[in-house]
Structure formats: C-alpha cells, structure tokens
Amino acid sequence: MDAVAEEMRLRRPVGGIGTPRREADVPEFVQGITDGRATGQPILIKIANGNTDGSKYAAFYDTPRPGHADLPALLKFPDHDLSGSGQFSGRLTAAIVAAGAVAKQIIAEKGVSVDAFTRSVGEVADGSVRTAAEARGSRAFATRACTQRLDDAMRDHIERVGASRDSVGGTVECIVSGLPIGFGGIWFEALDAELAHAMFGIPACKGVEFGDGFELAAMRGSQSNDAYRMDGGRIVTASNHMGGIVGGMCDGAPVVLRVAFKPTPSIGVEQRTINLRTGTDDTVTVEGRHDPCIVPRAVAVVEAMAALTVADQIARGFRWDWIL
C-alpha cells in the first residue's frame, strides 16, 4: 500500500507546472487485497473524483475544443457528457497508476523493474544516455528530469508557456530492466507491439519508439546492429540501438522506449473551431484547470503501462524460463 501511495504521489500535479485541480487520489481497494496482501480474487480499485467543476465544459457542446476528443465524441455519441472530458480525461490514468503499482510488485518478484524519466519538454532536452538508476533518481524532481539543472530548465519552460496561457509537449523515456533473453511474443503479441499498444492508450500519446527508433532509418546496418559478445559466460550486446528487443523478444539488453506526448489540447489561447448548433465557423477559448504540460505527470503513467504489459505477458506464460 505504501508503494501504491508513492506511485499516486508521482502522478499528482505540482504547483506551477500542473493543473491547479487537487484530488486526494487515495485508491480504495474494494476487493482482492486483505491486510496488504493479494487474496487471489480479482483486485478492484476505486478512486473518487472529489474536486469537480463541470460548468467550464458547457461551451464545448457547441464549440468543440481543437485537439481534444470533443468533436468526434459528440458526433459519435449524441448523449456524450463532456463535463471533465469524461472517459477522455487524463484523470482516467489515476486508476492505471494504481493498477501499475500492483503490477510493479508482481514483476519485482521476477527481478524486473521499470524506471522512466522526462527526456524532453518542448525544446529543453536531456542529451545524455541515462541508466535505470538515474531514471529512478528523477523521482526527486517535480518535472521528473534526471538532474537539478534539467529540472530547473524544464520547470522554467513550462511556467513560461503556462503564463502565456499556452501548453507544451515532450517525451518520456522508459527503461525495463531484468527481462531474460527470449522474453516476449511474436507478431501481434511481440513485446514491442504490446508495449506500444499500451502506450498509445495513454491520452495525448502521439508516438512510441524503441532504442534509436526513427533515427535507425538513416543508419547503415553496420552501425545499427547490436554486436553480441561473451561477458563472464553471459551473452551481452555491445550497444543498444534496438532498445533491447529483436523479433518481438528481449535480446538481454534493457528495454528502452520513448513516448512522445503532444501539448495539452485545452489552452487559454483563442482557437478557431466550428459551431455545431449554427453550422458556422466560430472560436473557442478554454477556461478552467488544465495541465500546461502533461509530461511530468505522464512519467508515472508510462511506468505503470510498461509494468502492466510485462506482468500481463508473464501471466500469459510468455516464456519465463531463464534460458541462460
């Protein structure tokens, strides 16, 4: 329960760089956990929405927000309730983080850990290769950057963008350590396919890449292949351009993936939209409580999604036998 509380803390908004909306975010374990231990029943977690204000969403029935889900949701579901953005709200990720905190404890028993950090916010980017330990160290910083200097620069950038009533995106990098060679699946069940599937389920995710990702497209094979070598009787890779996955299975290197988040769609800058009632062009300006940058809070969500994906593949028996 302490581990769950810690993960929930990391998803909570921080003043200046997150939404001013405050929620207690205390998960209630309705079923499946007794005295801090899993009973074997399905675990049912409930998280209350205490601090809501639906009034700020009334205008979007007529003038849907560009970049948010309002327009397709209203046309597809005529009775759609827009208050709080409903099922399209980042609020839904609170439950993912609580479930992920349980999954992390399951995979830890197999020696597997998941650590993520903020790689970039807008034009402020961390240019260093980071270890899992450094990623874990980002828990000390509000932006989830790896160093104080980067935390200051990212915070400053978010605050400046927020002060101009605008928003900014960025990238989260995630390292999964401890998976044995061969862990994963093939085709639709490939480890990279299932991780990407889970990451795209996070609202505002617009890209996922493994290892050198899109940069691989400009390399030669002689540059991109990760050479194998023996290290004290163990097979290791000399580099990690592939992000630890070949053929949908682990190659023994840490799994490294990056998730791109777009700028928060709800912004206080006037934007062009249409009016669904009058059938004319119109404008919309979003008031209310929104994150100027989703990225710092999304780090905990990315970790949770990765832990859930790995725990799910373990549960489905995706070769856990250590072959080396």
Ligand X SMILES: Cc1cc2nc3c(=O)[nH]c(=O)nc-3n(C[C@H](O)[C@H](O)[C@H](O)COP(=O)(O)O)c2cc1C
- Interface residues with ligand X (CB under 6 A) are 19, 68-69, 88-90, 93, 202-204, 262, 264-266, 290-291, 294, 297-298, 301
Tokens at 167, concatenated:
């928003």
Q: Which is nearer to ligand X, 256 or 298 (CB)?
A: 298
The answer to whether 145 touches 154, Cβ cutoff 8 Å, is yes
Nearer to ligand X, 41 or 52 (CB): 52
Q: Min. distance of Cβ 164 from ligand X in angstroms?
A: 16
Contacts of 253 (CB under 8 A, 6+ apart): 226, 236, 237, 240, 242, 243, 244
Rounded CA gap, 63 and 274, in Å? 6
Residue 71 Cβ, how far from ligand X at the closest point, in Å?
11
First to last CA, the chain: 34
- CB of residue 9 to ligand X, shortest distance in Å: 14
Shortest spacing between CB 88 and ligand X, in angstroms: 4
Three-state secondary structure call for residue 253: coil
Report in angstroms how near the CB of residue 11 gets to ligand X at its nearest.
7
Cβ nearer to ligand X, comparing 169 with 254? 169
Closest to ligand X by CB, 74 vs 236, is 74
Q: How many helices (H) and strands (E) does the chain have?
A: 8, 15
Please say which residue, 226 or 291, places its beta carbon nearer to ligand X: 291
Shortest CA distance to 61 belongs to which of 71, 51, 52? 71
